[in-house]
Amino acid sequence: MKKIILAVAALFAFSFANGQAKEEQVSKGKWLVEVNTGFGTNVGSTSLYFTSSDGVTSYNIGAEGGYFIKDNLALKLGLGYGDNGIKGQETPIAYKIGAKYYFKSMIPIEISYNGVGIGQADANPTYVGLQAGYALFLGKNVSIEPGIRYNLATHKQYYDNSVQFNIGFALHF
């Protein structure tokens, strides 16, 4: 029994040590491709989701890409496409531009401007978002990044602030 406990402890220790970022994964000149799942209010979303309720089906498909302009700091762009399932409303195209910094190469902090291009330009939902999480590196090129995001609405007369919980999947090249 003692050997089993020691083997399991060694396995967890190896997994944790292996899960940390290596210098080359978040260093200057590298690329980042990321897909997020969003839980909560999806606003200006470049995430993946699918919901169906009361005969109304909505979905979103999106991705983000970034380039590390210096060690631990990436500039990002994102695009998303979705349908809220309501007839007569235009299908929204979402966009995002921002920066992501990996504090200690494993705690990603992101600030971004995101929105959706629908209807009248003055009434389009746009947000300034702040996101923080933890990056668990599964290998040389893959990380899972759970996090929380707060979206501050820029058109408060039309839209509210919101909170999202995300699980991100990132590829590092």
Span 137-150, pLDDT tens digits:
998 899 999 999 99
Span 7-52, pLDDT tens digits:
544 444 444 444 455 568 899 999 999 998 877 665 557 788 777 8
Which phi and psi angles does 27 have, rounded to 5°? -100, 165
Which phi and psi angles does 121 have, rounded to 5°? -60, -40
Radius of gyration, alpha carbons of the chain = 19
Domain boundaries, the chain: 2-172
The answer to whether the predicted template modeling score (pTM) of the entire model surpasses 0.85 is: no
Which residue in 68, 76, 75 sits closest to 27, CA to CA? 68
Span 107-119, pLDDT tens digits:
999 999 988 876 6
**CATH class held by domain 2-172:** mainly beta
Q: Which two tokens stand for residue 163?
A: 């909170």
